[in-house]
Amino acid sequence: MLVTGAVVVGVVLAAPPRESGVRQPVTRPEAASATVRAVAVLHAWDRRRAAAWADDDTMALQAIYMPGSSAGRHDVTMLEAYGRRGFRVTRMQRQVMAVRVRAATSTALTLVVTDRLAEARVTRHGVTTVLPRSRPATRRIALRRVASGWRVAEVYDD
């Protein structure tokens, strides 16, 4: 669903024309730094998610979502279903292909993220299986900052 690796493209704007009449692109540092900060939040969040899955810890998984989040309920339901069948996800890594910051404040982020499952391994009865990579998908992710850190409020198809 979310991220561990990232490719971030800087924001480019058109600068005033030079004497030659050709417009030169310039990077807007505040937009680039907002994206870098957002990717750092996603990296940290995704590490917590991967650890909760690897530890088969539904409480830790619930703790990274806002109460009432349907994305959180879905994630916990999936973790429990794997456990009932005797599987444990020992590795889960997402690859981010694009991130766009839609809105950012000190306590809320709304991002448009294109990512995919890059690597996942499950173990059952001592046998490890590598799961196939997923296709890239684009989602809108709403995060909220609380005392314990950033939590996902909701994930929407975009």
The 10s digit of each residue's pLDDT in 37-86 is: 999 999 999 999 999 999 999 999 999 999 999 999 999 999 999 999 99
* Cα gap 80→156, rounded to integer Å: 22
Residues 6+ apart with CB under 8 A from 7: 96, 97, 98
For residue 131, being part of any structural domain is answered with: yes
Q: Which two tokens stand for residue 86?
A: 């005797």
Asked if the structure places residue 95 within a domain, the reply is yes
**80 domain residue, yes or no:** yes
Q: How far is the CA of 148 from the CAs of 36, 82, 87, in angstroms?
A: 21, 27, 29
- 4 lies in a domain? no
- How far apart CA 115 and CA 6 sit, in angstroms, is 9
Question: In this structure, what CATH number is given to the domain that contains residue 51?
Answer: 3.10.450
Whether 110 is in a domain gets the answer yes
CA 67 to chain centre: 18
- Please tell me whether residue 120 adopts helix, strand or coil conformation: strand
- pLDDT over threshold 80, residue 17: no
pLDDT level of residue 31 (50, 70, 90 thresholds): low
Distant-in-sequence contacts of 23-28, Cβ < 8 A, 24+ apart: none
Beta carbons of 113 and 87 less than 8 angstroms apart: no
Q: What is the DSSP string of 45-108?
A: HHHHHHHHHHTT-HHHHHTTB-TT-HHHHHHHHHHHHHHHTT-EEEEEEEEEEEEEEEEE-SSE
Tens digits of residue pLDDT in 101-139: 999 999 999 999 999 999 999 999 999 999 999 999 999
User: Hey, is 112 helix, strand or coil?
Assistant: strand
6 falls within a domain? no
The range of the structural domain enclosing residue 88 comes to 12-157
